[in-house]
Amino acid sequence: MAGETLTSGEYIKHHLTNLTYGQHADGSWGIAHSAAEAKEMGFWAIHLDTMFWSIGLGVLFLYFFKKAADAATAGIPGGLQNFVEWIVEFIDTSVRGSFRSKNDMVAPLALTIFVWIFLQNLMDLVPVDLIPWFTNLLGIHFMKVVPSTDPNATFGMAIGVFTLVIFYTIKIKGVGGFVGELTLQPFSSKNPAVNALFIPINFILEFVSLIAKPISLALRLFGNMYAGEMIFILIAIMYNAGVMFGLFGGALQLGWAIFHILIITLQAFIFMTLTIVYLDMAHNEH
């Protein structure tokens, strides 16, 4: 699909364009047929490929873990049960090491975040032209298969975590405790007049710190995965252009894919760990 006629710039733009559904300039709703048209659809547009792959991978995750749970035995476990138990123990150890309070929701949330993001990131190892070539035969001209390279997906997950942080902060500490954390630190004084002067300064500093949590979560994941996807696309361009060929081209793609396995795992782990830490902060005075 890379384009027998596409230039390098057009090839890159094509691979970085989502399958977008939204409102056309004439007021009708439908799927965008070009990158420019997709961009013009604005805020209410939906990236159908991101939705399809993220939901599909989530269902796949639930299916295999449910299958492992149903087939669990106290005897000699099978391969799937061993694998699932290893992941669950790994997550349990991470939660116990970072979360000091009692909340039965945190461990399942951490497990879901880690496995779901890992599966989304893992799609980056699929050859960049394979699935788009197949969907192009079906008349679907745009198809991004890595949901975590779409900022809409990463910000959606980050905002979900941020909502839980705010919810548990208010639930555990009350509205007064939440407001106090935003206004009475890091600067304080025993003099009430001076302390009142510190309140707007504290609020600005703490509010920026609060808002930075979901932004950093989303942008860290998006930035790393987007960069990895770009490198795969550039390797594909050089390979298709004949700059690289044979064993050298294959070795370069394989080498980057092996290194990228570390990146996709690390990014899922970082997102999960920061989620646990942020929820721990929401449960404890600081």
What's the token pair of residue 243? 């700059």
pLDDT for res 285: 73
72-85 in b/e form (b: 16+ CB < 10 A) is: eeeeeeeeebeebe
Distance of alpha carbon 64 from alpha carbon 58, whole angstroms:
10
Distance of alpha carbon 152 from alpha carbon 185, whole angstroms:
33
In the chain, which ranges are continuous DSSP H helix?
8-15, 35-40, 48-70, 79-98, 106-122, 130-137, 151-183, 192-240, 246-283
Clarify whether 224 is annotated catalytic: yes
What's the token pair of residue 66? 């449910």
The pairing of beta strand 29-31 with beta strand 46-47 = unpaired
pLDDT for res 34: 87
**pTM surpassing 0.85?**
yes
Q: Could you say which DSSP state residue 191 is in?
A: S
pLDDT for res 5: 62
Clarify whether 100 is annotated catalytic: no
Residue 29: φ, ψ to 5°: -110, 140
Distance of alpha carbon 14 from alpha carbon 54, whole angstroms:
20
pLDDT for res 189: 79
Walk along the chain (286 residues) and give the pLDDT tens digit of each residue. 444 567 888 888 888 899 999 998 888 999 998 888 988 898 889 999 999 999 999 999 999 999 988 887 777 777 888 889 999 999 999 999 889 888 889 999 999 999 999 999 999 998 888 898 899 889 898 999 999 999 999 999 999 999 999 999 999 999 999 998 888 888 887 888 888 888 999 999 999 999 999 999 999 999 999 999 998 888 877 776 665 555 666 677 778 888 889 999 999 999 999 999 999 999 887 6
Single out the residue of 8, 17, 35, 53 nearest to residue 233, CA to CA. Answer: 8
What distance lies between CA 259 and its chain's CA centroid?
19
Where in the chain are the domains?
8-283
Single out the residue of 209, 211, 188 nearest to residue 199, CA to CA. Answer: 188
Location of structure tokens 């190892």: 125
Q: Of residues 121, 148, 202, 224, which has the active-site annotation?
A: 224
What distance lies between CA 41 and its chain's CA centroid?
23
pLDDT for res 250: 67
Clarify whether 220 is annotated catalytic: yes
Q: Of residues 189, 191, 216, 284, which has the active-site annotation?
A: 216
